[in-house]
């Protein structure tokens, strides 16, 4: 499993008094909480988010996710790394995955996204001494570039029902314990380019013959809420710029 934390720090400074290890002034009640879910109730521009870079095989999801990771400072998770061995074995043999194969994997991807986000809030609260907190704040003050917390994941997300799972809800229910909004960056397919790319791949379990299966399964997310579309034939730099512009149009600044 790949969880990449390269790129700039994701932390945003939080003002804490320096009187005791909990940041509480004498005579005041300690109202500090380390519950990550309570932190999700902050102002909209501070709320964490999940960004799913999606598309069929060969669209360059990992390449774009890495570029966005460098720019936004969010960790990213490679969805393919979370496939169970049975799924990888089937795909390596050119056998298309069924919904029954994919759904446990999709839940695992969502759960991992939530875990990574929770860890970011744990890092800011439960495990810092006052001196460590002050040092981190000073580092952030120097950078002058607070960033939205969250996680980026790469996942094909072919069907609408799959995207519902990744949004944190089952296809039959909108209930979920975390208010963690999810947005999709859809790399729109160009079949001739895809066939050429996949034909040149070496050592990947997704074989060229699987592309037709994925194209047949794909339910375009265009028109769904929270989806940004970028062209396959653009450079990675242009894709990243369009993705960021589209996301910021939906949620506001990602870096401020």
Average the pLDDT over 105-114 and give the result: 96
DSSP code per residue over 121-164: HHHHHTT--HHHHHHHHHHHHHHT--B--EEEEE----SHHHHH
* 133-188 confidence digits (pLDDT tens): 666 666 555 445 668 889 999 999 999 999 999 998 655 444 444 468 999 999 99
How far apart are alpha carbons 220 and 242 in whole angstroms?
A: 18
**Pairing relationship of beta strands 49-54 and 150-154 according to DSSP bridges:** parallel
Count of domains forming the chain: 1
* pLDDT confidence of residue 121: 75
Cα-flanking dihedrals φ and ψ of residue 219, to 5°? -110, 110
Q: Does residue 14 register a pLDDT over 80?
A: no
CATH at residue 154: 3.40.50.300
How far apart are alpha carbons 80 and 197 in whole angstroms?
A: 18
Structure tokens at 233: 């034939």
How far apart are alpha carbons 255 and 206 in whole angstroms?
A: 35
How far apart are alpha carbons 145 and 32 in whole angstroms?
A: 25
Q: Does residue 22 register a pLDDT over 70?
A: no
Rounded percentage of the chain residues whose pLDDT exceeds 70: 64
**14, part of any domain:** no
**132, part of any domain:** yes
* pLDDT confidence of residue 41: 46
**16, part of any domain:** no
* pLDDT confidence of residue 3: 61
Average the pLDDT over 23-28 and give the result: 46
**Pairing relationship of beta strands 182-188 and 49-54 according to DSSP bridges:** parallel
**Half-sphere exposure at residue 52, Cβ-oriented, CA atoms within 13 angstroms:** 31
**Pairing relationship of beta strands 76-78 and 3-4 according to DSSP bridges:** antiparallel
Q: Does residue 28 register a pLDDT over 50?
A: no
Q: Does residue 252 register a pLDDT over 80?
A: yes
CB within 8 A of 209, min separation 6: which ones?
94
**215, part of any domain:** yes
Domain that holds residue 165: 44-251
CA angle 117, 68, 216 (to 5 degrees): 90
Please indicate, yes or no, whether the overall pTM of this predicted structure exceeds 0.75: no
* pLDDT confidence of residue 154: 97
Confidence class for position 191, pLDDT limits 50, 70, 90: confident
**216, part of any domain:** yes
* 200-243 confidence digits (pLDDT tens): 666 555 555 678 888 999 999 999 999 999 999 999 999 999 99
Helix (H) or strand (E) holding 231: strand 227-231
Cα-flanking dihedrals φ and ψ of residue 228, to 5°? -115, 130
**57, part of any domain:** yes
* pLDDT confidence of residue 245: 97
Q: Closest by alpha carbon to 78, among 63, 64, 67, 62? A: 62
Confidence class for position 93, pLDDT limits 50, 70, 90: confident
Q: Closest by alpha carbon to 61, among 83, 74, 76? A: 76
**28, part of any domain:** no
**26, part of any domain:** no
């Amino acid at each position: 499993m790949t969880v990449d934390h390269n790129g700039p720090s994701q932390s945003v400074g939080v003002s804490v008094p320096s009187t005791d290890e909990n940041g509480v002034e004498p005579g005041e009640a300690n109202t500090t909480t380390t519950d990550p879910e309570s932190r999700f109730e902050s102002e909209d521009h501070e709320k964490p988010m999940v960004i799913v870079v999606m598309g069929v095989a060969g669209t360059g999801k990992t390449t774009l996710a890495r570029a966005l990771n460098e720019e936004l400072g969010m960790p990213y998770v490679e969805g393919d790394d979370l496939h169970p061995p049975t799924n990888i074995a089937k795909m390596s043999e050119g056998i298309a995955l069924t919904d029954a194969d994919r759904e446990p994997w999709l839940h695992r991807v969502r759960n991992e996204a939530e875990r990574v986000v929770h860890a970011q809030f744990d890092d800011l609260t439960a495990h810092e001494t006052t001196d460590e907190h002050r040092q981190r704040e000073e580092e952030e003050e120097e950078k002058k570039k607070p960033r939205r917390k969250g996680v980026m994941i790469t996942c094909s997300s072919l069907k609408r029902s799959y995207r519902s799972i990744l949004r944190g809800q089952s296809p039959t229910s909108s209930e979920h314990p975390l208010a963690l909004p999810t947005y999709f960056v859809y790399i729109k397919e160009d079949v001739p380019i895809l066939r050429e790319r996949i034909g040149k791949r070496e050592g990947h379990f997704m074989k060229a013959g699987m592309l037709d299966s994925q194209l047949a399964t794909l339910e375009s997310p265009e028109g769904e809420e929270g989806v940004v579309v970028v062209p396959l034939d653009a450079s990675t730099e242009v894709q990243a710029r369009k993705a960021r512009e589209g996301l910021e149009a939906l949620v506001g600044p990602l870096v401020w």
